[in-house]
Amino acid sequence: MSYVELEGVTKKYGETWALDVERLGVEQGEFFAVVGPSGSGKTTLLRLVAGFTEPTSGSIRIDGKAVQDLPPYKRDIGMVFQNYALFPHMSVYENVAFGLRVRHFPADEIEDRVRELLNLVRLPGMQARRPQQLSGGQQQRVALARALVTRPRLLLLDEPLGALDKKLRTVMQVELRQIQKEVGITTIFVTHDQEEALTLSDRIAVINQGRLVQVDRPAEVYERPANKFVADFLGQSNFLPGRVDSFETGQLRVLTPTGLQVVARSQKGLPAGTEVTLAVRPEKIKLSKEKLALSNAYEAQVVHAVYLGTSINYHLELSEGTRLIAFDRNEGASGTLVVGTRVMAGWHEENSLVMLD
């Protein structure tokens, strides 16, 4: 039995289905990310677990106890929002202590817990400051301390790093994960940032149009996406539509409309003529001015180059008329390919991901 379980959970607004989850389980102590595009249902899922929204049907259990009929304050949940929702007229100490005071904890225990949490989030000595005197990262830590001070059994994070700039966001990702591991609290994290989900989570649930598309470890979801939507949403992919030409001993040959023959690995045989889409990650494509000893190797010309600092994105046109994007590590000006350069582009057959939808 999972620590958090959703079974047959749906949410309908009028005639519109916002969420339809057949089954979802989150393990105790797990950092579980929910990702999807805007309007996919990820925030609805979080609000249902929190109790801010009632399900149309289904059951929600936390630690084996059904909670779908309980109000939020009886679910023993801590929550951090994107805008932090700190009380501006209160000090850091008062913000963190708020949940304990409304529960009528003794003053000495409140003081001990607040001190403990401020040390945990690395904000000792900040008790007297007001939220407006803190940086965005410090405000995020105060919101996290306030959510954890009551020692809830579940932590919900709704885009908690969304208001931070990219550099600070990267730093806070590391700190947030370290704090979660120290506390050991089961955490459900909603984000639209795919990189953030891959970086932070033990497992990822990809959601689209209210339904779970794939739930697995980050590496599995990225390297073996369940379908074209996942391959396109998490990271970037080149998509090559085509028809199966032949299948032999796990090797699939696909012919694209431009006449390009692409080799892929497949666990199951597909009859000739089957329409498929192959997905190839840009970082899996190798570029060379020499011949490539790969199953898939083609002559190409650089038609556009995008400099990104740590890497360069090359837009390539193959001789057959197919367009691809390849990521290459930035190794200095001497290694940069200029527009018009002719190269060989190739990838291993196991990096041709076969999609039927």
| C-alpha–C-alpha distance, residues 100 and 120, integer Å | 17
| C-alpha–C-alpha distance, residues 203 and 218, integer Å | 6
Residue 202 pLDDT? 97
| C-alpha–C-alpha distance, residues 40 and 15, integer Å | 16
CATH architecture of the region 238-355: Beta Barrel (2.40)
Q: Which residues contact 323 (CB under 8 A, 6 or more apart)?
A: 303, 315, 316, 317
Global confidence as pTM: 0.90
Q: Where are the alpha helices (DSSP H) in 121-165?
A: 136-148
Overall CATH class of domain 4-233:
alpha beta
Token pair belonging to 263: 């080799």
Token pair belonging to 238: 């080149």
Could you state, in chain order, the average pLDDT of each consecutive group of 10 residues for the chain (357 residues)? 93 93 96 94 95 96 94 92 86 95 94 94 92 90 93 92 78 87 94 89 96 96 94 94 90 92 87 93 94 94 90 90 90 76 95 89
Residue 194 pLDDT? 87
Closest to 42 (Cα-Cα) out of 169, 174, 204, 153: 204
Comparing 4-233 with 238-355, is the CATH topology the same?
no
Q: Which residues contact 2 (CB under 8 A, 6 or more apart)?
A: 25, 26, 27
Listing DSSP states for 265-305 in one string gives E-SS---TT-EEEEEE-GGG-EEESS---SSEEEEEEEEEE
- 193 DSSP assignment: -
Each domain of the chain, given as residue ranges in start order, spans: 4-233, 238-355
